[in-house]
Amino acid sequence: MALFEEKIQQQLKEILKSMKEEVTIVNFTQEIECPMCRETRLFVEEIGSLSEKLKVKVYNFVTDKEIAMRYKIDKIPAIALLDKDEKDYGIRFYGLPGGYEINSFLGAILELSGKREPIPDELMKRIKSIDRDIHIQVFVSLGCPHCPAAVSTAHRLAMENEHITADMIDANNFVPLSQKYNVTGVPKIVFNDKFELIGAHPLNTFLDVIDRLKDYGINID
Amino acid sequence: MDFNLTSLSFLNESKFNSIDTSKVYDIVIIGGGPAGLTAAVYAMRKGASVALIAKHAGGQVAETSGIENYMGYRYINGLELVDKFKDQVLHFTIDYDEGGEVEAIEDEGIKKVLLKDGRIIKSKSLIIASGKRWRKLGVKGEDEFIGKGVAYCSICDAPFFAGKKVVVVGGGNSGVEAAIDLAKVAKEVIVIQNLDKLTADKILIDKLNSFTNVNFLYKTVVREIIGDSFVKTILIENTELLQKSEIDVDGIFIEIGLVPNSDFVRGVVELNSNGEIIVDCSCSTSARGIFAAGDVTSVPFKQIIIAAGEGAKAALSAWEYLLNEE
Ligand SMILES: Cc1cc2nc3c(=O)[nH]c(=O)nc-3n(C[C@H](O)[C@H](O)[C@H](O)COP(=O)(O)OP(=O)(O)OC[C@H]3O[C@@H](n4cnc5c(N)ncnc54)[C@H](O)[C@@H]3O)c2cc1C
């Protein structure tokens, strides 16, 4: 059974044509007792079949434990995106990026393939100067129109600075985790477990929060 | 599984450039909703040098699920229409900034647009098309509990209130739509309306009445939102009996209409008592060389087709102004 309707498939193919270099989609799954794992695997396989520039690798979270650890995957379904040299920038999607999140997923693929919009110099300087580990978790719901912007901003930061890693998390797929972070409004953006933003924010607000993290001595994560 | 794809925005080989802070533009457009995007097309076609700054591309249209009254489409999804608008703009080589937020404007003949991130953009003329945003209640506790029980976007946040007791403030279309979204998942929904009846379209009210877990409090307003780390209680008042009472709730959705995004032009151009920019029929404001269009203005009726038409008019007026200045 195809996940994508014919019309969407055609649109996806068109979009993926503008990929510059190859991108690898790494999916971690487990076929039993994991909500949305099967669907997420089908999703990456179908998307992978729509472009020659996409490679798909599917691992079992339990039996491929070492690989999961290498990519620091701690929950499933999970997707990591890697560039043409299979370099890992810390770009993760936890849960199936459906609904509006298809846009942040495609955006990350295109950007990782080398098709990036320029960031103004002043902001780029601030991004490059970050020299401590920053982990950004963006909680979303798939029916939220302004969530993909928050996810894309976090992922772009991860692409531009190796100290930064960024996760999209479907809050309705990871309920206990969302409860732990008291998510009742999305997007909720958590920085190193220390600071949070609620709602869509421009890049410079992300950077302001990261600046404030400097006042804390230890890195979490 | 649905996929709400905004396909066209990916297809554009980026023809737009970043904004150049060293240059003096002919026209700077603030806002990327129907008014701003239409103004951009008209201004680019005239050959003006144009920059467009939009906090969120598409404005309110990007948050609308279905549109049935924009000519040419019997039905179109909001994001799809935004895509088509953007596609038509990015067909030109425009200086374009998405995500930037205007904080203030200075009018010293040459207009200066001050962005929150510190950039200053200079222009001979301005088109303000900054639209509207959700109105807040303005009560104690509201800001403190945003994302902690206080919510505005029901399609985003309704799932987090599954099995819970929630209040929806507002009995207009957006309030009733939110109540319907919530009634599907929540244990109990209470709609609080300041008037003695709902003002939403009949078709929506009928749908809401088909749920058995929805109750209504009329002639009632919210006075305060109370909680510790989360919303726990709201203080309400019946405006007829002047009786105050408390109800324990898990969440409160605020759906009481919209306010104009005109704070950054206060003092520069004249506003009416609703905070809307006063414009004449050529979209001129009280300040020379500053034009305004769409929902942020005093023009009656807030609709996509009206905002787009006003955007076109503002661009043509700005162009005429530039010609006369030379
Ligand atoms: C839920 C909903 C459903 C609707 N349904 C319909 C419908 O079916 N049909 C219809 O015709 N109309 C509908 N409308 C109304 C319609 O969406 C608006 O009339 C129209 O979008 C107004 O366009 P605009 O360009 O004036 O402003 P907006 O769409 O509000 O756009 C404003 C733009 O300005 C930007 N902006 C604001 N402040 C700043 C700042 N400080 N700096 C930089 N950028 C800024 C915003 O990010 C945005 O890009 C609906 C509205 C809502 C909320």
Q: Which of A90, A94, A107 is nearest to A142 (CA)?
A: A94
Contact B177, B165 (CB under 8 A): no
Q: Whose CA is nearest to atom 48 of ligand 1?
A: B59
A121-216 CATH choice from 2.30.30.30, 3.40.50.2300, 3.40.50.300, 3.40.30.10: 3.40.30.10
Q: To which residue do tokens 């989360």 refer?
A: B230
- For residue B305, the model assigns a pLDDT of 97
pLDDT tens track for A175-195: 999 999 999 999 999 999 989
CATH code of the domain occupying B150-254: 3.50.50.60
Bridge partners, residue A196, by sequence:
A190
* Cα B179 from Cα B205, distance rounded (Å): 10
B182-196 residue pLDDT tens? 999 999 999 999 999
pTM above 0.90, yes or no: no
3-state helix, strand, coil in chain B (%, to 5): 30, 30, 40
Please, are residues B283 and B14 in contact by the beta-carbon 8 Å criterion? Answer: no
Identify the residue whose tokens are 């087709």. Answer: B305
Chain B residue numbers touching A99 (CB-CB < 8 A)? 1-4
Distance CA B259, CA B152 (A): 14
- Asked whether the predicted pLDDT for residue A121 surpasses 90, the reply is no
User: Ligand 1 atom closest to Cα of B261?
Assistant: 38
Cβ atoms of A104 and A152 within 8 Å: the answer is: yes
ipTM given for this complex? 0.84
Residue of A nearest to B9 (CA): A15
Amino acid residing at B42? Y
How many residues are present in chain A? 221
**B275: which residues sit within 8 A by CB, 6+ positions away?**
B259, B260, B262
DSSP state of A169: E
3-state secondary structure of A107: helix
If one residue of B29, B64, B204 were mutated to test the ligand 1 pocket, choosing by the most ligand atoms within 8 A of its CB, it would be B64
CA distances from B73 to B59, B67, B77, B304 (A): 19, 8, 10, 13
* pLDDT at residue B8, as a whole number: 61
Cα distance between residue A219 and residue A30, in whole Å: 31
* B6-133+258-325 topology per CATH: FAD/NAD(P)-binding domain (3.50.50)
CATH 3.40.30.10 domain extents, chain A: 9-112, 121-216
Nearest to A144 among B118, B119, B153 (CB): B153
| Phi, psi of B88, deg, nearest 5 | -70, -30
Topology of the domain comprising A9-112:
Glutaredoxin (3.40.30)
* Rounded-to-integer distance, Cα A25 and Cα A4, Å: 18
- CB within 8 A of A201, min separation 6: which ones? A150, A153, A189
pLDDT surpasses 80 at A218:
no
* Nearest-atom index, ligand 1, CA of B297: 26
The minimum CA-CA distance between A66 and chain B, rounded to whole Å, is 31
Q: How many angstroms separate the CA of residue B11 from the nearest CA in chain A? A: 6
Query: In this predicted structure, what is the pLDDT of residue A33?
Result: 73
Please check the confidence at residue B25 and state whether its pLDDT lies above 60. yes
Q: List every span in chain B annotated with CATH 3.50.50.60.
A: 6-133+258-325, 150-254
The preferred substitution site among B70, B97, B304, B306 for testing ligand 1, maximizing ligand atoms within 8 Å of CB, is B304
Q: Is B152 helix (H, G, I), strand (E, B) or coil?
A: coil
Contact of B161 with chain A, judged by CB distance below 8 Å, is answered with yes
Measure CB to CB from residue B1 to each of A3, A184, A185 and give the nearest one: A3
Half-sphere exposure of A163 (CA within 13 A, CB side): 13
CB contact under 8 A, B117 and A202: yes
Tell whether ligand 1 has an atom less than 6 A from the beta carbon of residue B30: yes
Cis peptide upstream of residue B260 (ω within 30 degrees of 0) = no
Mean pLDDT of A90-94: 98
pLDDT of B308 reads: 98
How much is the pLDDT for A221? 41
> How far is CA B179 from each of CA A6, A193, B155, rounded to the nearest angstrom?
34, 33, 11
One-letter amino acid identity for B37? L
Q: Is A151 left (phi over 0), alpha (psi -120 to 50) or beta?
A: alpha
Q: Ligand 1 atom 8: the closest Cα is on which residue? A: B67
Count A/B contacts: CB-CB distance under 8 Å: 123
- From the CA of B59, how far away is ligand 1's center (Å)? 4
